[in-house]
């Protein structure tokens, strides 16, 4: 048992308001913990997706190397357009660059046939 000298009581003014304040603070803490759990879940999903994307890029790189090795070796050097050297084109987006590369490949393919 505890010693009677170590016990003391503190009077609380307006105990209903004090209890209401404590419960409100507890509710806020629980809300913060809930948001933190959502954040942890989001972070975990993000890390999983990053692993998936990295694996896809690794597979893409491997397939690109296999394609490069499967293509016949030639001594031809690609010819550069005179227009493209004199007037360098700035690409607005990555999609524009890909479309222009695709168009260049199609023209080269039509020359080969």
Contacts of 91 (CB under 8 A, 6+ apart): 97, 100
The CA-based angle 43-44-46, given to 5 degrees, is: 65
Residue pair 64/58 in contact by the 8 Å Cβ criterion: no
- Residue-wise pLDDT for 62-98, tens only, equals 999 999 999 888 887 767 655 555 555 565 677 788 8
Q: What is the mean pLDDT of residues 34-41?
A: 96
pTM of the model as a whole = 0.45
| Residue 28 three-state SS | helix
What average pLDDT does the structure give for the chain? 85
Provide the token pair at 21: 């304040």
Return d(Cα 21, Cα 27) in angstroms, integer: 10
């Amino acid at each position: 048992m505890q010693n009677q000298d170590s016990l003391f009581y503190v009077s609380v003014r307006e105990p209903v308001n004090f209890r209401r304040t404590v419960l409100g603070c507890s509710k806020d803490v629980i809300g913060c913990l809930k948001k933190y759990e959502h954040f942890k879940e989001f972070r975990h999903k993000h890390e999983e997706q990053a692993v998936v994307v990295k694996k896809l890029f690794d597979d893409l790189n491997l397939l690109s190397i296999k394609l490069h090795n499967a293509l016949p070796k030639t001594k031809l050097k690609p010819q550069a357009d005179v227009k493209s050297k004199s007037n360098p084109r700035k690409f607005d987006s990555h999609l524009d660059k890909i479309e222009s590369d695709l168009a260049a490949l199609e023209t080269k393919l039509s020359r080969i046939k």
